[in-house]
Amino acid sequence: MQVSKVRSKTVKASMSNWKQTLALRAFGLLKVPAIFFVRPTVVRLTDEACEVRIPLNRRTKNHWGSMYFGVLAIGADCAGGLMTIYLSRKNGQKVSLIFKGFKAEFLKRPEGDTHFICKDGALIRKLIREAVKKKKRVNHPITIIATTPKKTGNEPVAKFELILSLKGQ
Protein backbone atom coordinates (compact mmCIF):
# COMPACT_ATOMS: atom_id res chain seq x y z
CA MET A 1 0.00 0.00 0.00
CA GLN A 2 2.77 2.49 0.91
CA VAL A 3 4.70 1.78 -2.30
CA SER A 4 1.67 2.59 -4.47
CA LYS A 5 1.20 5.91 -2.61
CA VAL A 6 4.84 6.83 -3.23
CA ARG A 7 4.55 5.88 -6.93
CA SER A 8 1.33 7.86 -7.20
CA LYS A 9 2.99 10.99 -5.77
CA THR A 10 5.97 10.51 -8.08
CA VAL A 11 3.70 10.17 -11.12
CA LYS A 12 1.73 13.29 -10.11
CA ALA A 13 4.95 15.26 -9.63
CA SER A 14 6.36 14.18 -12.99
CA MET A 15 3.05 15.04 -14.74
CA SER A 16 3.16 18.46 -13.14
CA ASN A 17 6.78 18.89 -14.23
CA TRP A 18 5.81 17.83 -17.75
CA LYS A 19 3.10 20.51 -17.83
CA GLN A 20 5.52 23.10 -16.47
CA THR A 21 8.07 22.10 -19.11
CA LEU A 22 5.46 22.55 -21.86
CA ALA A 23 4.49 25.94 -20.45
CA LEU A 24 8.13 27.06 -20.26
CA ARG A 25 8.83 25.94 -23.82
CA ALA A 26 5.62 27.58 -25.11
CA PHE A 27 6.68 30.83 -23.44
CA GLY A 28 10.02 30.46 -25.19
CA LEU A 29 8.42 29.78 -28.55
CA LEU A 30 6.08 32.77 -28.27
CA LYS A 31 8.13 35.33 -26.34
CA VAL A 32 11.83 34.40 -26.05
CA PRO A 33 12.92 32.05 -28.86
CA ALA A 34 16.35 31.46 -27.29
CA ILE A 35 14.64 29.64 -24.41
CA PHE A 36 12.76 27.39 -26.83
CA PHE A 37 15.96 26.75 -28.82
CA VAL A 38 17.85 25.26 -25.84
CA ARG A 39 14.92 22.96 -24.85
CA PRO A 40 14.84 23.34 -21.04
CA THR A 41 13.10 20.73 -18.91
CA VAL A 42 11.58 21.36 -15.49
CA VAL A 43 13.00 18.74 -13.12
CA ARG A 44 11.46 20.08 -9.89
CA LEU A 45 9.20 22.97 -9.01
CA THR A 46 8.02 23.40 -5.42
CA ASP A 47 7.37 26.27 -3.03
CA GLU A 48 11.00 26.10 -1.92
CA ALA A 49 13.02 25.24 -5.02
CA CYS A 50 13.07 25.15 -8.80
CA GLU A 51 15.36 22.95 -10.87
CA VAL A 52 15.64 23.28 -14.64
CA ARG A 53 17.81 21.04 -16.86
CA ILE A 54 19.32 22.04 -20.19
CA PRO A 55 20.86 19.23 -22.23
CA LEU A 56 24.39 19.46 -23.58
CA ASN A 57 24.02 18.93 -27.31
CA ARG A 58 24.96 20.43 -30.66
CA ARG A 59 22.79 23.49 -29.97
CA THR A 60 24.14 24.25 -26.51
CA LYS A 61 27.85 23.45 -26.55
CA ASN A 62 30.81 25.52 -27.57
CA HIS A 63 33.89 24.51 -29.56
CA TRP A 64 35.49 23.05 -26.40
CA GLY A 65 32.63 20.61 -25.82
CA SER A 66 31.24 22.38 -22.76
CA MET A 67 28.06 24.38 -22.39
CA TYR A 68 28.21 27.82 -23.97
CA PHE A 69 28.09 30.61 -21.38
CA GLY A 70 25.07 32.25 -23.06
CA VAL A 71 23.12 29.01 -22.57
CA LEU A 72 24.19 28.99 -18.92
CA ALA A 73 22.69 32.48 -18.59
CA ILE A 74 19.42 31.23 -20.13
CA GLY A 75 19.30 28.37 -17.62
CA ALA A 76 19.81 30.70 -14.65
CA ASP A 77 17.13 33.05 -16.02
CA CYS A 78 14.67 30.16 -16.45
CA ALA A 79 15.20 28.79 -12.92
CA GLY A 80 14.78 32.16 -11.19
CA GLY A 81 11.98 33.42 -13.42
CA LEU A 82 9.97 30.21 -13.35
CA MET A 83 10.19 30.05 -9.55
CA THR A 84 8.89 33.63 -9.29
CA ILE A 85 6.03 33.11 -11.75
CA TYR A 86 5.02 29.84 -10.09
CA LEU A 87 4.89 31.40 -6.60
CA SER A 88 3.00 34.52 -7.69
CA ARG A 89 0.37 32.51 -9.58
CA LYS A 90 0.03 29.94 -6.82
CA ASN A 91 -0.79 32.69 -4.33
CA GLY A 92 -3.00 34.61 -6.78
CA GLN A 93 -0.73 37.66 -6.73
CA LYS A 94 0.09 39.52 -9.94
CA VAL A 95 3.59 40.89 -10.34
CA SER A 96 5.65 42.13 -13.23
CA LEU A 97 9.16 40.73 -13.14
CA ILE A 98 12.46 41.57 -14.73
CA PHE A 99 16.07 40.86 -13.90
CA LYS A 100 18.04 44.09 -13.36
CA GLY A 101 21.44 42.60 -12.70
CA PHE A 102 23.40 39.46 -13.47
CA LYS A 103 26.63 38.16 -11.97
CA ALA A 104 28.19 34.85 -12.90
CA GLU A 105 31.06 32.87 -11.50
CA PHE A 106 32.18 30.00 -13.71
CA LEU A 107 33.91 27.36 -11.59
CA LYS A 108 34.30 24.37 -13.93
CA ARG A 109 33.52 23.50 -17.51
CA PRO A 110 29.95 22.11 -17.66
CA GLU A 111 30.58 19.06 -19.85
CA GLY A 112 27.19 17.41 -19.48
CA ASP A 113 23.50 18.15 -19.05
CA THR A 114 23.37 21.09 -16.67
CA HIS A 115 20.88 21.58 -13.84
CA PHE A 116 20.06 25.10 -12.63
CA ILE A 117 18.77 25.19 -9.06
CA CYS A 118 17.14 28.13 -7.28
CA LYS A 119 16.37 27.50 -3.59
CA ASP A 120 15.18 31.01 -2.75
CA GLY A 121 11.45 30.22 -2.54
CA ALA A 122 10.94 31.81 0.88
CA LEU A 123 12.77 34.98 -0.14
CA ILE A 124 10.84 35.24 -3.42
CA ARG A 125 7.48 34.81 -1.62
CA LYS A 126 8.47 37.64 0.74
CA LEU A 127 9.44 39.88 -2.21
CA ILE A 128 6.15 39.13 -3.99
CA ARG A 129 4.14 40.09 -0.87
CA GLU A 130 6.18 43.27 -0.45
CA ALA A 131 5.80 44.27 -4.13
CA VAL A 132 2.03 43.67 -4.08
CA LYS A 133 1.61 45.56 -0.82
CA LYS A 134 3.71 48.59 -1.84
CA LYS A 135 2.67 48.64 -5.52
CA LYS A 136 6.26 49.77 -6.12
CA ARG A 137 9.25 48.02 -7.60
CA VAL A 138 11.33 45.97 -5.15
CA ASN A 139 14.75 44.56 -5.96
CA HIS A 140 16.70 41.76 -4.34
CA PRO A 141 19.40 39.31 -5.42
CA ILE A 142 18.56 35.63 -5.81
CA THR A 143 21.05 32.80 -6.22
CA ILE A 144 21.09 30.04 -8.82
CA ILE A 145 23.59 27.19 -8.72
CA ALA A 146 24.47 25.16 -11.82
CA THR A 147 25.58 21.54 -11.52
CA THR A 148 26.29 18.67 -13.90
CA PRO A 149 25.09 15.69 -11.84
CA LYS A 150 26.32 12.97 -14.22
CA LYS A 151 29.83 14.45 -14.40
CA THR A 152 30.54 16.25 -11.12
CA GLY A 153 27.66 15.23 -8.85
CA ASN A 154 26.33 18.09 -6.71
CA GLU A 155 29.51 20.13 -7.06
CA PRO A 156 28.69 23.53 -8.59
CA VAL A 157 30.07 24.33 -12.04
CA ALA A 158 28.73 27.89 -11.92
CA LYS A 159 27.06 30.29 -9.49
CA PHE A 160 24.75 33.08 -10.54
CA GLU A 161 23.37 36.09 -8.72
CA LEU A 162 20.43 37.74 -10.46
CA ILE A 163 18.83 40.93 -9.19
CA LEU A 164 15.12 40.13 -9.23
CA SER A 165 12.98 43.22 -9.68
CA LEU A 166 9.24 42.88 -8.98
CA LYS A 167 6.39 45.34 -9.19
CA GLY A 168 2.96 44.56 -7.82
CA GLN A 169 -0.05 45.04 -10.08
pLDDT tens column, 44-69: 999 999 999 999 999 999 999 999 99
pLDDT digits (tens, 9 = 90+) for 140-149: 999 999 999 9
The count of C-alpha atoms lying within 13 angstroms of the C-alpha of 118, restricted to the half-sphere facing its C-beta, is: 31
- Residue 83: phi, psi to the nearest 5? -60, -45
Provide the residue ranges of all domains of the chain, joining segments of one domain with +.
41-168
pLDDT of res. 13: 53
Burial of 104 (0-12, 13-18, 19+ CB in 10 A): middle
Tell me the pTM. 0.90
Model confidence band, residue 169 (pLDDT cutoffs 50, 70, 90): confident
Q: Which CATH architecture has domain 41-168?
A: Roll (3.10)
pLDDT of res. 64: 95
Residue 160 CB contacts under 8 Å (≥ 6 apart), including other chains: 72, 73, 76, 102, 103, 104, 105, 116, 143, 144, 145, 146
